[in-house]
Amino acid sequence: MSGKIRVLVVDDSALMRKLLTTMLESDAAIEVVGTAMDGDFALRKIEELRPHVVTLDLDMPKKNGIETLREIMKRGPLPVIVVSALSTDGALVTMKALAMGAFDFVTKPKDATAHIAEASAELIAKVKAAAECKIRPHLARTAPVTFPKRAVQVHPTHVVAIGISTGGPQALEYVLAQIPADFPGTILVVQHMPEGFTEMFARRLNELCAVTVREARSGDTLLAGQALVCPGNRHMKVKRLALGDVVVLTEEERVNGHRPSADVLLNSVAEEFGSRAVGVVMTGMGSDGAEGLGEIKRRGGMTVAQDEESSVVFGMPKAAIERGYANRVVGLDRMAATLQAACLSANTPDRGDGLNKAGKAAGR
């Protein structure tokens, strides 16, 4: 993009408008061209100022953030970054905004001093990514699932590990909604998202998908037809045990600036499951997950990257593809079928004495 990135800041708090403006304009590539205190004022400012990106508070008087976002998407879609309260109610309405097409979200800084540098860096990075992204067509909404979930607990044939970030909530909703209840693999998801938001995200997915989706807990058994979302501010690993394969959550240091990190999950799945691992890197900024995908490929597993055309941000899959780590590059429309085919391949789980056969075959 030539010239500065033009941003409109929308928030009913004068203090927050000033703080967000200061944070954004600390980067020379960004110019805050205006502010608005409510949704009606924001819509008029968008027409007048033609910003490249809008930051949007959701809890406002008169026309609230959700109503404003709906109008923005109807009149002429712009990249919108939601500025969300770090609360249960904030998480719920943020998930709704992301499902409506918001580009991403950041949580409101609690004050002007604590963690301000980290919050500024996150906001600036997301504004820059939003300014460069292509506006994707809104993905078709999925009706809530009305048929029963899988009741029988079955060992999975494969372990599918997904790393995803910006653009992830909509993309995962689209893909997982196409996975049948009798899916033979288990799905583990690292979505870059703060603590508290991942639980609401998993609940929403569970309402829309035939597979069971929930936030992971340490000790959860890996089961076919189940998807587990890593909690925010934790890393997720796996461990093969004689009585069943389980999830292990840790609070180790950040990796690639993230906790959870896709690389942590993918490396663990590669080490424990070898050729029964299926690694997936989808839309997101940065390169988290690329090296983990490479480790799965080295150990004989299947590796998949989302294509550029269907990615909101092509950073994470691009890094994996450029390093030669992706066996397949597919769009969202083919992702569910690709995962289904991978989990129906010849490799099947070994129990008892055969526990480590897949790892040995992959050179462990």
Residues serving a catalytic function are 165, 192, 288
How many Cβ atoms from other residues are within 10 Å of residue 314's Cβ? 23
347, 358 contact by CB (below 8 A)? yes
Distance CA 88, CA 157 (A): 36
Distance CA 126, CA 146 (A): 36
Of 44, 67, 64, 42, give the one whose Cα is nearest residue 55: 42
**Burial 80-114, CB ≥16 within 10 A → b, else e:** bbbbbeeeeebbebbbbbbbbbbbbbbbbbeeeee
What are the DSSP calls for 257-270, one per residue?
A: TBSS-HHHHHHHHH
Coil, strand or helix: which one is 110? coil
Give Cα separations from 316 to 119, 159, 196, 286 (angstroms).
Answer: 21, 20, 24, 5
β pairing state of 328-330 and 302-306? parallel
